[in-house]
Chain A
Amino acid sequence: MRFRVLSLLVAAAVFAGTAACDEALSDLTGPTPNLEPTFSSIQQEILNTTDSSGRLACINCHNGNPFVPGNFTGANAYPALVGRSSVEKPGLLRVAPGDPNNSYFVHKLEGGPNIVGERMPRGGGPFLTGGQMLVIRKWIADGAPNN
């Protein structure tokens, strides 16, 4: 009887431990703990908001200013990003649905060697963290839906 009770306790502990095994997304996204791989979340947490690390919101500059390509405010943001050719690299889409590696938006945020001009956000950082970039990449890899 004691062994059965012990078995049940061990099983309960294992069950509880198993249910809690997955890593928390908020632990990965650092200064934007609410960031999720959806467009609405990326717009709110990345495009519209300066985060706690001091990384500047995109709409500080990309707000319809005629001297800055891309208007990322409100309803303008999705069509300005997804399926739209880059001004600096016309051969690349800013966001190529399903293909984060060939999305110029990703290149500019990660500072790849093929970008024209500065890495974003301009001014030498702070830049997006690796975890924040993983979320953006996942949204693009999922087809960049307007969700």
Chain B
Amino acid sequence: MTVSRTLGLLVALLVLAPGLASAQAPPAAPAAPANGESSAAAAQPAPDDPDRDFNRSQPDFVVVNLPTTLRLPKFKSAFRVTHRFGRPLGQGSFGDLADDLFGLDSGAQIGLEYRFGLMRGLQVGIHRTSDRTIEFFTQYNVWTQADKPIGLGVIASIDGTDNFKDSYTPAIGVAISRELGKYGAVYVEPMWVNNSNRLPSELVDDNDTFMVGLGARIRVRPTLYIVGEFIPRSGNTPGVNHGTFGLEKVVGGHTFQLNFSDGFGTTMGQLARGGTGKDDWYLGFNISRKFF
């Protein structure tokens, strides 16, 4: 219960932070024009929002599964679909693997995600995976590297199994990023995941997972990136520590990513529960689209 209360307080701070920030910020919009000059003023374009500019170091809102510190512009949105194919790449001979088109013939855990910018720096979203887990998440990007040496985002999420009717797993943490000029970015993301064990706490030694997401996105060609993540954990640590790497192509508002992972997890609760623990790797992909 102490852990839950501490978690609640931290989440309260997270939720309050944007409110405090907005209270301190100067008014962004110009004063309303007087009657009679409204039509000319209304025709003027809105002030340029730097959050809408393409960021070559952080072209997307996630690396593979871990969030980046890219800001989603106010009232804009983005969509992502994830696939993690179920065929272990090490199963059988290379011929067998080729016959199965490297896993594409097998079933997959599919995720659908939509996120929306509520206010400057604050986004909320929903992510559902085909094992009927639904995750609600929010992220407030406090700093960007435009005015600080690092980017900083505060993240809170909760996922629930059986279409959010069972086994709830809240998580809070921060995403710290360091952009490497225009050649990519590296990430460190300490996260606390509560109730990561689906059994009652009376029956388990650890009911929570503390994990540190480590991620990188390196730009190797003008629109081509190499991505990777590794997530060491402590506390409740079933399976193996999540690891993934992949290749990503950015085309306009789309991002196409082919990845290889040691598990199927895409939500914070799933990542806390680790990979399959069978020393297997699986093919997967992410496709995302920005609506701005």
Contact = CB atoms under 8 A, between A and B. Distances in A.
A21 B200 contact: no
B199 A18 contact: no
Contacts of B1: 19
B16 A15 contact: no
A119 interface: no
Interface string A4-28: 1011101110111111111111011
Contact of B170 (A10, A17, A27): A17
Interface residues of B, number: 30
Given A11-B11, A18-B7, A21-B170, A37 B202 contact: yes
The interface centre, meaning the residue of B4, B200, B201 with most chain A CB atoms within 10 A of its CB, is B200
B214 interface: no
Given A21-B194, A23-B198, A28-B199, A4 B7 contact: no
A3 B22 CA distance: 9
The interface centre, meaning the residue of B1, B199, B203, B207 with most chain A CB atoms within 10 A of its CB, is B203
B280 to A, nearest CB: 25
Contacts of A12: 12
Contacts of A134: 199, 203
A96 interface: no
B35 to A, nearest CB: 27
A23 B158 contact: no
A19 B202 contact: no
A6 B37 CA distance: 36
Interface in A32-86: 36-37
Contacts of A22: 4, 195, 200-201, 207
Dominant secondary structure at the A interface? helix
A25 B207 CA distance: 13
Given A14-B11, A15-B9, A23 B16 contact: no
A27 B167 CA distance: 12
Given A18-B7, A19-B5, A11 B15 contact: yes
Contacts of A37: 202-203
A76 B203 CA distance: 26
A14 B136 CA distance: 11
B90 interface: no
A10 B167 contact: no
Contacts of A16: 8
B45 interface: no
B200 to A, nearest CB: 4
A7 B18 contact: yes
A144 interface: no
A17 to B, nearest CB: 7
Nearest to A135: B203
Contacts of B198: 23
B16 A8 contact: yes
A138 interface: yes
Given A4-B19, A22-B207, A14 B200 contact: no
B11 A15 contact: yes
B203 A7 contact: no
Contacts of A6: 19
Interface of A: 3-4, 6-8, 10-12, 14-25, 27-28, 36-37, 134-135, 138
Question: Which 4 A-B pairs rank lowest in CB-CB distance, beginning with the nearest?
Answer: A15-B8, A11-B12, A25-B200, A21-B195
12 contacts: A7-B15, A11-B8, A14-B11, A15-B5, A15-B12, A18-B11, A20-B168, A23-B195, A23-B198, A28-B200, A37-B203, A138-B204
